[in-house]
Structure formats: C-alpha cells, structure tokens
Homo-oligomer: A and B are copies of this chain.
Amino acid sequence: MFLRNTWYVACTPDEIADKPLGRRICNERMVFFRGPDGAVAALEDFCPHRGAPLSLGFVRDGQLVCGYHGLVMGAEGKCASMPGQRVGGFPSIRRFPAVERYGFIWVWPGDPALADPATIHHLEWADSPEWAHGGGLYHIHCDYRLMIDNLMDLTHETYVHASSIGQAEIEEAAPQTKVEGDSVVTSRFMENIMPPPFWAAALRGNGLADNVPCDRWQICRFTPPSHVMIEVGVAHAGRGGYHADAQHKASSIVVDFITPETDTSIWYFWGMARNFKPRDAQLTETIREGQGKIFGEDLEMLEAQQRNVLANPTRNLLKLNIDAGGVQSRRVLDRLIAEERQAAQAVQAVS
C-alpha cells in the first residue's frame, strides 16, 4: 500500500525539542530524537530489554535512556550501556534513516542502504528568506490516497469550504491534468470572477482592491510518495493572471505532506508558504489559523468517506475528468510500488 524506499515527513523539530517522540509511520512504531551531534535519529520504538516503548524515556547526551529500567540506546540502534550490565551481546534495534531539512524531520521507512537525502525535492519556499511558511498537523482516520484525491481535485472547495475559498466558478472551469514523469499536475484557471472571502481578505491584506473581478488559479502538483504542493492565487483581471506582477496579485503555495500512519490513518502536515511580507509573523499566524479552520472541514468528510468505502469494499467509484489528478497519482504510486516490490524480490532471488 505504501512506498517504503522514500522520504516521508515524520514530524517537526518542535515535537522533539523536549523529549523523544513516538510516532507510527507506514505501520512501523518509531521513536524520534536528537543524537549526540544534534542530528535527528529514528529508531524502532522498542526496548530490547523488556519491550517498553523507548519514546517514554528521555534523551541524555544524544542517547535514548529507556524510562523503564535505564537501558541506554545509541542513535544507531545499538545498545550503548545499561547500569550494572555488559551490553555487548544485546540485540540491536532497527534504525530508520532520518534527516532534518526544510524545517521538517524526514524518515525513510525502507531499506537504509538506499536512503539518499539528495532525493528530497528542493523546496524553495523553505530555503529562502523571501518566503514565510506556517502550518500544522492533523491526525485523520483515512487512507493516505483519499487525501491525495482530495487535494488533486479542488472542486470540493465549492462544497466543503463554501464559506471561505469555495465558489461556483471552480466547478465550472474544467481542470487539465498532465503526467510529467513521476509527477502529476492538475491545473485550473478561472477568469474574470469575484474573489471568494479568503482571497478577498488576502488582496486587502496586500493593500489591493478586493471587490473587483480577478483571475484565479490552482496548480496542484503531486510528487511521490504523497506530497502535494498547490500554487494558488488571484490577480486583478487583465493583469496576466498567474503571470501578473506582484502588485496586482495575491498568491501562495499550499503545502501538503501526507504521511501514512496505518492503512487507514495519516499524519497530515498542512501549511502555506508565501513570498510577500515574509517577515510579518503576525500575518503568518493569521493565515495559519484561517487555513487550520478550512482544512479542518475536510476531516469529517474524509473519515466518513473512509468508513463508507470500507463498508462497501467491492464497489467501483467513478473516475471523472475532475478525478484525473488523483487517478494519475495513484497510477504513478502503483507503478512505483510494483517496481519496489520487484526489486526486493530480485534481491532475495540473488541472495
């Protein structure tokens, strides 16, 4: 169901600031903490002594001390010491490659030998002082692919987010979907429409007229394993739309990292990146609160959809043009998962 030889967002640095963090990812129970050099470490959340979760312990000098009987686990998954014990023969526990980058902790649930941090896509908005980013984390009981579907078809904004970013013109503008290697891009352009409340407020915030016709765009880009970046914005009509100058538009990147917890639950890291007023922390917080409310509206729907789909396992769903983004993203995933499985079997056949 999941790609394993890939990088997922596991947590944010503040989640491991004071103590280790236990989190299940792709059905693996992991513990995250900072090792001796401050670098992030991820291990199996299982003390080899009596099976207690190491995440209930504490970090001392970059090592994880089990909170039950004090076994000291090194950042590589090898027991470093234990009071009164010789630990040379203690079994190691699994280590998961983990790196900190772009303001997130990333983890590789698959074969450590294949993990290369260079394959994490460059995120310009996270790496530049010209950009600001704010966001949050939701735990949702749904298959991670239902969230990909959700984000690759923004038609739902008209219904789920009717009071903020939804408007009838979205569903009247047919989306275009194209596959670019392992990426899938679904774009929607609306011309000469009135901005919905969220965008009217954004225009106002930028000092622009908010009650004039605009062009609006949504460019959703899926990349494996389960990341969706969405370029969104409005520009005063006739100013070039997506290509308008900064003084005629308000735009952002909606950031979505979807990390499977189990087959039917996810850790959903949502956020918004913008390249205007990047040092305005109050604005970052205002946007974060507004986005948190809007994205919270999806939870009930996705969890109810998940229950309904589980209760009707043999039923085929429709695949309309508006679903093309999700359908193509699942095809990319199916292909990559099959390739990963074949490669693993080839390795087993050789050995």
Contacts and interface: CB of A to CB of B under 8 A. Distances in A.
Contacts of A159: 57, 65-70
B304 A52 contact: yes
Secondary structure dominating the interface of A: loop
Nearest to A173: B84
B311 A29 contact: yes
Interface residues of A, number: 49
Contacts of A68: 156, 159-160, 301, 305
Nearest to A323: B50
Interface stretch (A7-15, A41-49, A119-127, A275-283): A41-49
A146 to B, nearest CB: 8
Q: How many monomers of this chain does the complex have? A: 3
Interface stretch (A210-218, A264-272, A314-322): A314-322
A56 interface: yes
A85 to B, nearest CB: 6
B85 A50 contact: no
Contact of A322 (B84, B156, B304, B320): B84
Most buried by B among A149, A158, A174, A317: A317
A70 B304 CA distance: 16
Interface of A: 29, 45-46, 48-53, 56-57, 65-70, 82-85, 90-91, 149, 153, 155-156, 158-160, 168, 171-172, 174, 300-301, 304-305, 308-309, 311-312, 315, 317-318, 320-323
A102 to B, nearest CB: 31
Contacts of A323: 50
Given A48-B318, A66-B159, A68-B301, 15 more contacts: A49-B320, A50-B149, A50-B317, A51-B309, A51-B312, A52-B301, A52-B308, A53-B305, A56-B301, A67-B301, A68-B159, A69-B156, A70-B171, A84-B322, A85-B321
